[in-house]
């Protein structure tokens, strides 16, 4: 009898030690990724001006600092290039994270499903898209609608007491979330002080195009009290056109832009631009941190908005030296 009890005890202890070590093997199999394990396929829009250059620099510099292997692709502002790059990164066995700055809000569902099937983490930076949230880990970018609302509120301040409040709007790439949402936000608030948008046209984020569109408008009418430019470059172009029409930008016609690049600060110091709404391009640290969390299986909020402010001409000279871009 005694030997039977000893025999059962021995079997039991063997089973317990087996369970413990297999459990250990199981936990040993669960890998914890570090930044050095990350191989990122980053799909950038293309060159659009100071904001974009700062955004790209943020991702390259931060990858270097963290030891992330970055495969950078510049889509030259072509949607078809972004889609083909996306598929190339899905096929690239080395890539475990894909980061996208989407040129357009639509057209992403198929590649996102392919990426999910291939087990790739997808993080959206800068631009949001219209696709099911389950298809990407998170979106890190600005609240563009809030930027538009801020612009309208600031334009109301600039036009206070003006008999007329005719405003013209220079729009970015019309398919982009930044353009759509800034326009929507501005329209939500402009009625509070009787602003009317008398002209609205895309200048594709570009200074030269912004100048050409403003020139054409001024040939039609000079009964314009304000310009809402959805980025700095287009606002700088409009200021040039206003000067060449013999008017004083920042005085005869008020100008508000979005981004807050160094060019806008210099234009505020020169008196050509009145107010600038900040849009932060230095997103890489937040984006890489979110990607690492997602790689390690963490659930993330589907949108992590950037924190941003408003800058005024009177403060520009003091603030410019503190700016990173
Ligand atoms: O405002 C503009 C750039 O997506 C927020 O894109 C970005 C916008 C920015 O071309 O300058």
Tell me which residue has its CA closest to atom 10 in ligand 1: 48
Dihedral angle sign, alpha carbons of residues 21, 22, 26, 31: positive
- pLDDT of the chain, 325 residues: tens digit per residue: 566 666 666 666 665 555 444 444 444 567 899 999 999 999 999 988 899 999 999 999 999 999 999 999 999 999 999 999 999 999 999 999 999 999 999 999 999 999 999 999 999 999 999 999 999 999 999 999 999 999 999 999 999 999 999 999 999 999 999 999 999 999 999 999 999 999 999 999 999 999 999 999 999 999 999 999 999 999 999 999 999 999 999 999 999 999 999 999 999 999 999 999 999 999 999 999 999 999 999 999 999 987 799 999 999 999 999 998 9
Centre of ligand 1 from the C-alpha of residue 191, in Å: 25
Q: Are the C-beta atoms of residues 127 and 102 closer than 8 Å to each other?
A: yes
Instruction: Tell the residue number behind the tokens 């008017």, with chain if given.
Output: 247
Class of domain 144-279: alpha beta
Q: Are the C-beta atoms of residues 319 and 311 closer than 8 Å to each other?
A: yes
Beta strands in 192-285 (DSSP E): 196-202, 226-229, 254-259, 275-278
Closest ligand 1 atom to Cα of 142: 5
Centre of ligand 1 from the C-alpha of residue 277, in Å: 12
Mutational test site, ligand 1, from 46, 48, 101, 104, max ligand atoms within 8 Å of CB? 48
Q: Where is 305: in which H helix or E strand?
A: strand 303-305
- Helix axis angle for 232-244 and 207-220, nearest 10°, is 40
85 Cβ partners below 8 Å, 6+ apart? 41, 43, 73, 75
Domain layout of the chain by residue ranges = 35-141+281-306, 144-279
Which string of DSSP letters, residue by residue, matches 244-263?
A: HTT--BTTTBEEEEEE--HH
pTM value is 0.88
Centre of ligand 1 from the C-alpha of residue 113, in Å: 27
Centre of ligand 1 from the C-alpha of residue 20, in Å: 55
Mutational test site, ligand 1, from 53, 129, 207, 279, max ligand atoms within 8 Å of CB? 279
Our CA angle for 148, 152, 153, nearest 5°, is 115
Q: Which residues pair with 170 in a beta bridge?
A: 201, 229
Question: CB under 6 Å to ligand 1: residues?
Answer: 48-49, 51-52, 126-127, 172, 178, 205, 231, 258-259, 279
Mutational test site, ligand 1, from 172, 203, 237, 277, max ligand atoms within 8 Å of CB? 172
Closest ligand 1 atom to Cα of 281: 5
Burial class (CB in 10 A: 0-12, 13-18, 19+), 203: buried
Burial class (CB in 10 A: 0-12, 13-18, 19+), 214: buried
Dihedral angle sign, alpha carbons of residues 37, 41, 47, 51: negative
Q: Which residues pair with 310 in a beta bridge?
A: 277
Closest ligand 1 atom to Cα of 144: 5
Token pair in block for residue 148:
């538009």
For residue 149, the 8-state DSSP code is H
Mutational test site, ligand 1, from 176, 178, 202, max ligand atoms within 8 Å of CB? 178
Q: Say if 35-141+281-306 and 144-279 have the same CATH topology.
A: yes
Centre of ligand 1 from the C-alpha of residue 15, in Å: 62
Closest ligand 1 atom to Cα of 50: 11
CB neighbourhood size of 249 (10 A) = 25
Centre of ligand 1 from the C-alpha of residue 52, in Å: 6
First-residue to last-residue Cα distance in the chain: 84
Q: Are strands 275-278 and 310-312 parallel, antiparallel or unpaired?
A: antiparallel
Token pair in block for residue 112:
């996102």
Closest ligand 1 atom to Cα of 258: 1
Q: What is the pLDDT of residue 21?
A: 45
- Domain 35-141+281-306 is classified in which CATH homologous superfamily? Response regulator (3.40.50.2300)
């Amino acid at each position: 009898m005694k030997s039977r009890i000893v025999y059962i005890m021995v079997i039991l202890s063997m089973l317990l030690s087996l369970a413990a070590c297999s459990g250990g093997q199981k936990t040993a199999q669960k890998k914890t990724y570090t930044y050095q394990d990350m191989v990122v396929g980053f799909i950038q829009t293309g060159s659009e001006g100071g904001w974009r250059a700062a955004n790209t620099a943020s991702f390259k510099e931060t990858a270097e600092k963290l030891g992330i292997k970055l495969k950078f692709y510049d889509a030259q502002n072509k949607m078809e290039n972004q889609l083909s790059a996306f598929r190339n990164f899905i096929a690239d066995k080395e890539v475990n994270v894909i980061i996208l700055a989407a040129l357009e809000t639509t057209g992403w569902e198929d590649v996102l499903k392919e990426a999910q099937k291939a087990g790739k983490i997808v993080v959206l930076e800068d631009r949001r898209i219209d696709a099911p949230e389950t298809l990407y880990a998170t979106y890190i970018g600005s609240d563009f609608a809030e930027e538009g609302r801020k612009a309208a509120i600031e334009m109301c301040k600039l036009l206070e007491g003006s008999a007329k409040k005719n405003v013209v709007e220079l729009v970015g790439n019309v398919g982009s979330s930044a353009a759509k949402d800034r326009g929507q936000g501005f329209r939500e608030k402009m009625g509070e002080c009787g602003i009317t948008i008398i002209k609205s046209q895309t200048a594709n984020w570009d200074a030269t195009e912004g100048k050409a569109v403003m020139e054409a408008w001024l040939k039609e009418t000079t009964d314009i009290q304000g310009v809402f430019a959805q980025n700095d470059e287009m606002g700088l172009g409009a200021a040039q056109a206003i000067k060449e029409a013999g008017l004083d930008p920042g005085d005869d016609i008020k100008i508000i832009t979005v981004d807050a690049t160094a060019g806008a600060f210099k234009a505020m110091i020169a008196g050509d631009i009145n107010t600038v709404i900040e849009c932060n391009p230095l997103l890489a640290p937040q984006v890489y941190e979110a990607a690492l969390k997602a790689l390690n299986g963490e659930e993330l909020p589907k949108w992590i908005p950037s924190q941003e402010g408003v800058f005024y001409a009177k403060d520009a000279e003091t603030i410019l030296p503190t700016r990173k871009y």
